[in-house]
Amino acid sequence: MSSKNVVLVAGVHGVSGRAAATAWANTRGAKVYGLSRRNADLPEGVEGLTVDLLDRQDVVRKLGELNGVTHLVFAAYIEKASASERSRVNVAILKNLVEVVEMASPALSHLTFYQGGKAYGSDLGPFKTPAREDDPRLMSPNFYYDQEDFLRRQQVGKSWHWTALRPEAIIGYATGNPMNLGVAIAVYATISKELGIPLRFPGSGKAHRALYQVSSADLLAAATVWAGVTPAARDEIFNITNGDQFRWQYIWPRIARMFEIEVAEPVPIPLSSYMTDKADLWREIAAKYGLLDTPYEKLVSWNFADFIFNSGFDNVSSTIKARQAGFAECIDSEEMFRAFFVALRARKVIP
């Protein structure tokens, strides 16, 4: 292969994977392959490969002859009910990919993979803030730790390196990826406006007042490319967020104005109960405004939104380590939300 960098992005149809593939495809001299179990539209400049990473033989058949790979971006994820099963499965798909690519591509130089707030216990309850990359681990099993430990063992005596990036609530868009806070807000606001009711923050009072942070998918993608080409990022973990924090109580009225809708006092509304019956209404909205024909259940995960909006504790990560290593990009979260909603309208996801 004549390209300077040949990049495989596993999980290309997810929010982080799609953004990373786009960023690498826009990098001069890069050839990008996007791996996924399903077919969907791909970013320009990305060649798709349908691969079941749980099936070792399928990985060998599809990737065993793909030599010259220099970079891996691992954004694949399989949800399971228990922590132990989640760990077993997600380590297995990483292991299958790395071992096959290693055999086929001696030129492999770097692997970037994504962790997140679960590394600090954000899914369990209040945790130390600001969270730092050197904070002690929690009780296992935790698939982030297990994937990292696998890579540390696998790397011994090899010439390639890895970088782990830890975002929080990635804001971006990918077709058929419902675990997306930004899309949940947009759909909730659109439906509220269509029903002629004000936009109320639907979570707990504690969450309404707590500090929170998010990560732009584009910012995370820029960090992914940076990690792949920067010696200071080798074998390191970095928190990657927008660089600011906000409280829902102050940003929520501003989000309402982005949809030209009135705001009202918060009421704890379980979205998983009150929004799941809106599929017919969404079809009417889609027809009325000529939106994409995306199945409602594949558009938003209301359970995911409920979790975020009811996390009644500060969620803050330090990004000092990334800045000291040379990645200084940041973005104002309010401006990010505004641009994201504009992009959703351009894609005909919302009116």
Q: Do the Cβ atoms of 274 and 203 come closer than 8 Å? A: no
In the structure, what pLDDT confidence band is assigned to residue 178 with cuts at 50, 70 and 90? confident
Interval 216-243: pLDDT, tens: 999 999 999 999 999 999 999 999 999 9
Distance CA 199, CA 189 (A): 6
In the structure, what pLDDT confidence band is assigned to residue 3 with cuts at 50, 70 and 90? low
In the structure, what pLDDT confidence band is assigned to residue 62 with cuts at 50, 70 and 90? very high
pLDDT value for 170? 97
Distance CA 219, CA 49 (A): 25
Torsion sign over Cα 322, 328, 332, 338: negative
Q: Could you give the domains of the chain?
A: 5-118+130-168+216-239 (3.40.50.720), 170-214+244-346 (3.40.50.720)
Interval 125-164: pLDDT, tens: 999 999 999 999 999 999 999 999 999 999 999 999 999 9
Long-range contacts of 34-38 (CB under 8 A, 24+ apart): 34/9, 35/8, 35/9, 35/10, 35/11, 35/63, 35/76, 35/97, 36/10, 36/11, 36/12, 36/76, 38/13, 38/176
Rounded to 10 degrees, the C-alpha dihedral 229/232/234/238 comes to -100
Interval 98-112: pLDDT, tens: 999 999 999 999 999
Distance CA 67, CA 47 (A): 15
Interval 185-225: pLDDT, tens: 999 999 999 999 999 999 999 999 999 999 999 999 999 99
pLDDT value for 1? 41
Interval 283-321: pLDDT, tens: 999 999 999 999 999 999 999 999 999 999 999 999 999
pTM, to two decimals: 0.96
Q: Do the Cβ atoms of 339 and 333 come closer than 8 Å? A: no
